Amino acid sequence: MELSCTLLFPVGIEFDCEDVTLVEDAGEKYFELICDLVRLQNVEHKLVARGFNVISAEVNMRALHTIAIDESDSAKVEKFYSFLQEDESVKQIFDNIEPEVESTTANASS
């Protein structure tokens, strides 16, 4: 059975998820269910109990309010990210840059 948004939206609502999104990455399709930190483990267990294959359940930082930046600022951010990556103590970088612009700097946050 192929999963669809029609099938997963009601499940997301039932489990009190904030969002259900179809993600396509490198030819692979999967669904991302976003929930509050305190519900994460509970949602994971409920999905498994219903027979869904959970690839991962992890805590991730998400910006509540994103900002748009122009190309000039994007270049500055990219340079700053490169500088941060040189520091071994920096493990991960989080920002609130809108995804369209963030795609040029996303490699820096890996």
Domain, as residue range, for 42: 5-49
Judge whether 18 lies within some domain.
Answer: yes
Q: Give the confidence band of 1 by pLDDT, cuts at 50, 70, 90.
A: low
Residue 43 sits in the same domain as residue 9 = yes
At 7-48, the pLDDT tens digits run: 889 999 999 999 998 888 888 888 899 999 899 999 999 999
3-class DSSP state of 94: coil
The DSSP-derived string for 20-72 is: EEEEEETTEEEEEEE--GGGHHHHHHHHHHTT------------SS-B---HH
Judge whether 9 lies within some domain.
Answer: yes
Total-model pTM: 0.61
Residue 9 sits in the same domain as residue 43 = yes
Closest CA to 19 of 1, 2, 49, 39: 39
